[in-house]
Chain A
């Protein structure tokens, strides 16, 4: 679905990403690649193949949307370097026409140089018109601007008759803050307070819908 933030047209994708058509910009937050391997290196037996879904999902969204630019809003590669790095590089190399930028997150410990070697720019913050992209929410957002972030892994609990409930990932808007859902398969959901929000957009299996 298409929404308006600060006069900019943004498309919310059910693949848990944001698309800005005028710039052909795709924004993806919290992929956490390499997480399974990082765990395994530390003796935690999470199946390595559990990460495969992320590579599949990334390829399929890049092929479908065909962006010119991609911003990864932090926590792209979980923790420090491990053997999964080459899987990620292989993927990036398949898309020489896309300009990738990483907005650094708290889990991104791999140094800038290594990203730059595969032609990924690394920034702490990107300011572009009314939009400010960071990984975690800024303490203070400049007046008149909206801070687009990841980090939180937002989810929302829906309840219905018969006292049922389900938890779904969502896009979350509160004042000057706009939070993207986590893209990665190895991520959980943090329950957001519906009452604090200006708008919540639920991610369903084939669509996005405003709550």
Chain B
């Protein structure tokens, strides 16, 4: 291979006696020719060096002063790894090229030193990058910046942190139009779009470099000997503990991925109980643990002194742990990409095989093992949907620029519309954002006292030190939940849990935390007082991971697998193990073919139930349930309680549900879908929830200075209050609109829902009246948290509930 044009790389590879891969050489060439681009390569094949030697080579061509390269990663742990890898090159080859780290951890002293003499390259996060834009004189700092590398772009793109990256790039590109942008991404369903989003419309040469190197993945589903015919939702898979122990023993080091923190806690406890010898050789890792503990676990994994780690998505990303040779996924991974990523945490060297065990937590989930294998083999991997028109992030960004050197409106407008996210915003909409930060939206009268950003000589700037300080502290788009302390009645501290979870519990309810079953006694002053529960069941907090919807790739494959069984085709071991459950479903109800849609009806003590099974993931089901509830309620005023899982959903009402009539009235009509969704009450509730993050990112809700919470108490209000106030007084508020748009795109998955409805319109509807609950509806019935829908008036509903209370009261007395 001719490496004469890449002498630094040549020297390094020669020294290490390595051979570069084709994709590495291709990347060096592209960078040498002045391209920007996206590099798609599996982990463990040297993608860092594929970019790095290109960057180094360019530097030594010109040797300009100041910072030369910014390397952005989504994770501090990853930043550290990149820092080590790149510093090693400079040290071993004796290159005059310093690499610095900048993150939330970087000390003030180090920052000051960096400011005096910037390193040649800085490894940082999207948030720290924006903080640098909030510092005076940033223009000068970045004037010779030649490269921005965005690592793990697939992770950032589908988040508002991705939007932060886009905005920062638009500014840096304006400071130095010669700037080159490179992204690194794992395989996703929309790589081409990923490149377009990252590179914006700045022009210049760009390319995509892909490699055909492939990581081999071996999937094995752990099938229980006894298959339950009535699968409960919310199971933890603990029954399969004994199947997992030999896997741990036969491996060098095992990662056990769970979907929720509480599940993680419980698995850890139960493993220890069953096998006390594991103490010291097993650890737990999730985001509620302190950073210190997490780092200790990560180091121990590196050194190979841990036999097993029970973890959550907290270990999805980041540093490679070479000793790890086995991964166990407990419960549905919900998507193909996530499953592959987790599988990839084992066998982390070129050519090694990734071994992953899939452990279903309830019997229906066994199907997913077969579906995952199919999807990976056929490369059916999910897309990442980029955010567009995120006005909250734009508003935060504008204040950031106002805090440092100030900005002129026309310049910044011209820059931001070159990003993918804001390419469609009008000058009027941009003007609205400016009015929001200078006048606080619509002014009531001339005496208005709104004060944030001021305009002096056409320059937008922040003059108040207080405003500036508060803004710097709230830069970022990751909105963490408000946490509540959990204490025993006697005063002993147990830890902290998200307020939203605790506030949904009633006193007397039991829940799992730190592996213990606790009973909520009362909530007072942001503290939840609890005692040990004597019950053997508790609520399983449905954390983020638990609420993740099944992806459309995976759900389509599941429908296919059911059909294969029904039509007597040859099936995987997973599917054939479910014979009994499927036969029971046939007996009590019906097992739908892919050309059929199953609807089940049953009356119970709780009321009238209707179950519908589109197999489209819980998000689509949530939206569809609201839509159907609304359409049915057009026939007569009704109130519904809604529950769903990834396979179907339930409408429950105190009145009989006229489902047949609704079917006759085009229940599945996709043409009027959007209008009907907007008309349904639930979207407001959903938007209100989305608005929580938006209110924080746009600076309406301030979470307080660390350790100085009291000072800001008088300017604190809940995002819900802002939401209602805007609804009442400022309907054209773009942040409000954004909340609704986010609901449609991410919560309702509008596009996917429309496709699902179109499919359902062509399916044969099979309605079954059940005498007893079927295996399919059982897990839905046992879902803990429910949504509500009603078009009865608020007062009517209250009257009904009161009448119900009266009835119960008279029965008691």
Contacts and interface: CB of A to CB of B under 8 A. Distances in A.
Contact of A160 (B445, B725, B804): B804
B428 interface: no
Interface stretch (B124-132, B449-457, B511-519, B739-747): B449-457
A164 interface: yes
Interface stretch (B49-57, B246-254, B488-496, B792-800): B792-800
B729 A44 contact: no
Contacts of B607: 161-162
A39 B715 contact: yes
A195 B507 contact: yes
B652 A50 contact: no
Residue among A162, A186, A205 with most chain B CB within 10 A: A162
B720 A40 contact: no
Nearest to A36: B725
A42 B641 contact: no
Given A44-B715, A45-B700, A163 B652 contact: yes
A37 B449 contact: yes
Interface stretch (B369-377, B435-443, B659-667): B435-443
A120 to B, nearest CB: 21
Contact of B441 (A45, A160, A165, A209): A45
Given A164-B790, A195-B507, A40 B802 contact: no
Interface in B759-813: 786, 788, 790, 794-795, 797-798, 800-802, 804-805
A187 B503 CA distance: 18
A188 B715 contact: no
Residue among A38, A43, A79, A186 with most chain B CB within 10 A: A43
A47 B725 contact: yes
Contact of B725 (A40, A186, A196, A205): A186
A5 interface: no
B451 A162 contact: no
B451 A43 contact: yes
A35 B722 CA distance: 12
A209 B522 CA distance: 25
Interface string B698-733: 011010000000000011011011100110111000
B639 A209 contact: no
B640 A162 contact: yes
Contact of A41 (B450, B653, B729): B450
Nearest to A190: B523
Interface string A111-143: 000000000000000000000000000000000
B444 interface: yes
Contacts of A159: 801
Contact of A79 (B444, B448, B470, B714): B714
Contacts of A168: 798
Given A45-B440, A46-B717, A82-B449, A162 B729 contact: no
Contacts of B503: 191
Given A162-B607, A188-B721, A43 B452 contact: yes
Contact of A78 (B440, B444, B450, B714): B714
B800 A40 contact: no
A211 interface: yes
Given A48-B443, A188-B721, A162 B805 contact: no
Contacts of A193: 507, 522
B654 A46 contact: no
A204 B802 CA distance: 12
A186 B721 contact: yes
B442 A47 contact: yes
A91 to B, nearest CB: 17
B730 A47 contact: yes
Contact of A166 (B447, B702, B801): B801
Contacts of B786: 163
B606 interface: yes
Interface in A20-57: 35, 37-50
A154 to B, nearest CB: 13
Interface in B455-486: 464, 467, 470
A38 B801 contact: no
Contact of A38 (B715, B788, B795, B805): B715
Given A49-B729, A164-B790, A41 B798 contact: no
A108 to B, nearest CB: 11
Contacts of A204: 795, 798
A40 B518 CA distance: 42
Contacts of A35: 717
Given A41-B450, A44-B715, A45-B450, A161 B606 contact: yes
Contacts of B721: 186-188
A83 interface: yes
B798 A46 contact: no
Contacts of A38: 714-715
A44 B790 contact: no
Given A46-B722, A168-B798, A188-B717, A83 B449 contact: yes
Given A79-B714, A162-B639, A193-B507, A43 B450 contact: yes
A162 B507 contact: no
A145 interface: no
A39 B449 CA distance: 9
A200 to B, nearest CB: 11
Contact of B449 (A41, A162, A211): A41
A69 interface: no
A47 B736 CA distance: 13
A166 B794 contact: yes
A164 B629 CA distance: 14
A87 to B, nearest CB: 10
Contacts of A47: 441-442, 444, 725-726, 729-730
A42 B702 CA distance: 11
Given A82-B449, A160-B797, A42 B715 contact: yes
Interface in B585-644: 606-607, 639-641
Contact of B451 (A42, A49, A188, A202): A42
B720 A188 contact: yes
Nearest to B792: A164
Nearest to A195: B507
A1 interface: no
Interface in A140-185: 158-166, 168
Nearest to B725: A50
Contacts of B641: 162-164
Nearest to B508: A195
A56 B722 CA distance: 20
B429 to A, nearest CB: 16
A100 to B, nearest CB: 23
Residue among B503, B714, B721 with most chain A CB within 10 A: B714
Contacts of B522: 193, 196
18 contacts: A37-B449, A41-B451, A43-B451, A44-B699, A47-B726, A48-B448, A50-B725, A50-B728, A50-B729, A79-B714, A158-B798, A162-B606, A162-B641, A166-B798, A187-B721, A188-B718, A188-B720, A204-B795
Closest 7 CB pairs of A and B: A43-B452, A160-B801, A45-B440, A48-B444, A163-B641, A162-B641, A40-B450
Given A40-B451, A161-B607, 15 more contacts: A38-B715, A40-B449, A42-B715, A46-B440, A48-B448, A50-B728, A161-B800, A162-B640, A166-B801, A186-B721, A186-B725, A188-B717, A191-B503, A204-B795, A205-B795
